Structure 1
Amino acid sequence: MDTPFARLTAAAAASAAIVVIAGCGATSEQSAATSSRAHSIDACPSSAPTDDARAITLRGVTGSASVVAPTADSAPRITVTAPFQVDRLQAETARAGTGQTVTEKSVVTLCYQGVNGRTGEVFDDAFARATSAEMALPDLVPGFRAALVGQKAGAAVVAAIPAAQAYPKGEPDAGIAPGDSLVFAISVIASNS
């Protein structure tokens, strides 16, 4: 596939079809290298959050998203009033971390869930796979990268990313059409500079 943003690799397809969020302008070889780094370092919790868990509300130019951030014991819950669309990045720290700071050049270990704002459907979910992924920040789409830079290991982050900072031309293999905004709930497990 020739899009510069997300690539579904054969190795990833064999391991529950993970969509690696590769960066703008990455070549197939760069994406393959990033994909080969996606592996289990720490398990992601897969249990549902409690019914009384606090949600963060993100408001779009259309729709909204309610996000219960992940914890050490539970996966996130993202509920979208579709179509949800944002025209700028919205990122909130749901839980501050205390570990190493994430920089533009960090390699991070993450648990994350991604939801399409247009459909409200999950398009990638490390929590459901119960497997974290290791990714180099330079290889991530701009909005995802911007939501993480400055965070510390141990943080939980909620982000709404406009299409211009994610997949402006869409990503059919992930069900993402041109113009789709994305919602992410992310746990930063580790950061190495």
Structure 2
Amino acid sequence: MIFSRATYPAALLACAASLALALTACGSESETAATSTSTTTTVDPADVFLPSPEQQMPDPDSGCPSSTPASTDAPEWTLPGATGTIAVTGATDTAAPRIDVQTPFSVTETQVKTLKEGDGPVVADTATVFVCYMGVNGRDGSVFDSSYERGMPVDFPLDGVVPGFQKAIAGQKVGSTVAVAMVPADGYPEGQPAAGIQPGDTLIFAIKILEASR
């Protein structure tokens, strides 16, 4: 087994932004958006939840920190899986989360852990939420999407995301940091090639809930 560390390296281009938030959709059509200095491939919003430019603009008071967490910080959640193990350290006001993976990691049922409970209202299962998050593939320990990399929170309705993401957030309090290890059926059972996700991959997310509205 390989013990690898995922601390928000450059995983995908902006094309995969908010890939974690997609409906469990099929297909992988893409389109290319050109700028004067670079070319960025984006996934078709019909296949993957992709926030609009307005959604991707960070709240000046609620950015996603990109600093590496201290290596001495103790994990808040250690979970042995059916195979492999994960150790998750939640984000703070100044540092991104850390997800260490002993690969390949897999679970047979989706598991959610509240790393730190907030003091805000409880999030309804149909709420629109404003979050920072990091997604890691249990198969190889790679980060496939991270709003912490971009420094930009994202907002989306919970009834428009993969089931595992909804299970992680609904019922939590605003201000909480949570983690989820989700079975393929709660993520991308058919895989998501644009993110390097294969059928059968277990996904792990570390999430900070900044705001929620009904």
For Structure 1 versus Structure 2, the TM-score category normalised by the shorter chain is: 0.7 to 0.9
Higher radius of gyration, 1 or 2: 2
Give the SS at the match of 2:130: strand
Q: What's the C-alpha RMSD, in Å, of the aligned pairs?
A: 2.3
Which residue in 1 is equivalent to 2:110? 89
| Equivalent position to 1:146, from 127, 146, 167 | 167
Distance in structure 2 (CA, Å) of the matches to 1:117 and 1:135: 24
1:157-186 deviation line (CA, Å, top 9, x unaligned): 011011011000000000000000001111
| TM-score relative to the length of structure 2 | 0.78
Identity of aligned residues (%): 38
The one-letter amino acid of 1:111's match is: C
The CA distance in 2 between the partners of 1:44 and 1:186, in whole Å, is 11
Comparing 98-107 with 32-41, greater Cα deviation is found at 32-41
How far residue 96 of structure 1 moved from its aligned partner, in angstroms, is 0.3
**Structure 1 match to 2:144:** 123
Distance 1:34 1:123, change over 3 A: closer
Indicate conservation of the 8 Å contact 1:19/1:174, yes or no: no
Instruction: Provide runs of 4+ in structure 1 moved above 4 Å.
Output: 28-34
Residue type at the aligned position of 1:101: V
Deviation at 1:23, TM superposition (A): 2.1
What code does the residue aligned with 1:46 have?
A: S
Q: Match of 1:51?
A: 71
Match of 2:17 in 1: 18
Counterpart Cα distance in 1 of 2:100 and 2:176: 21
CA contact (8 A) 1:34 1:136 kept: no
Could you tell me how far 1:29 is from its partner in structure 2? Answer: 6.5
Unmatched tracts of structure 2, length 5 or more: 1-11, 27-43
User: Does residue 179 of structure 1 match 2:178?
Assistant: no
User: Given the alignment, which residue of 31, 40, 47 partners 2:58?
Assistant: 40
Q: Does 1:114 align with 2:135?
A: yes
* Unpaired stretches in structure 1, ≥5 consecutive residues: 1-11
Alpha-carbon spacing, 1:75–1:29, altered in 2? closer, same or farther (3 Å): closer
- 8 A contact 1:143–1:161 mirrored in 2: yes
* SS of equivalent to 1:164: helix
1:103-146 superposed Cα distances (whole Å, 9 cap, x missing partner): 11111111000000001000001111111111110111001100
Structure 2 Cα separation of the partners of residues 120 and 70 of structure 1:
18
Displacement of 1:31: 6.4
Higher helix share: 1
CA distance in 2, matches of 1:136, 1:81: 32
CA distance in 2, matches of 1:72, 1:22: 26
Question: What is the identity, as a one-letter code, of the residue corresponding to 2:22?
Answer: A
> What is the deviation of 1:16?
6.7
2:22–2:47 Cα contact (<8 Å) kept? yes
Distance 1:178 1:130, change over 3 A: same
Per the TM alignment, residue 48 of structure 1 is displaced from its structure 2 partner at its CA by: 1.3
Between the two proteins, the alignment pairs up a number of residues equal to 181
Maintained 8 Å contact 1:101/1:152: yes
Aligned counterpart for 1:76 among listed residues 97, 107, 110: 97
Of 110, 122, 125, the match for 1:101: 122
CA–CA distance in structure 1, aligned partners of residues 177 and 125 of structure 2: 18
Deviation at 1:38?
3.8
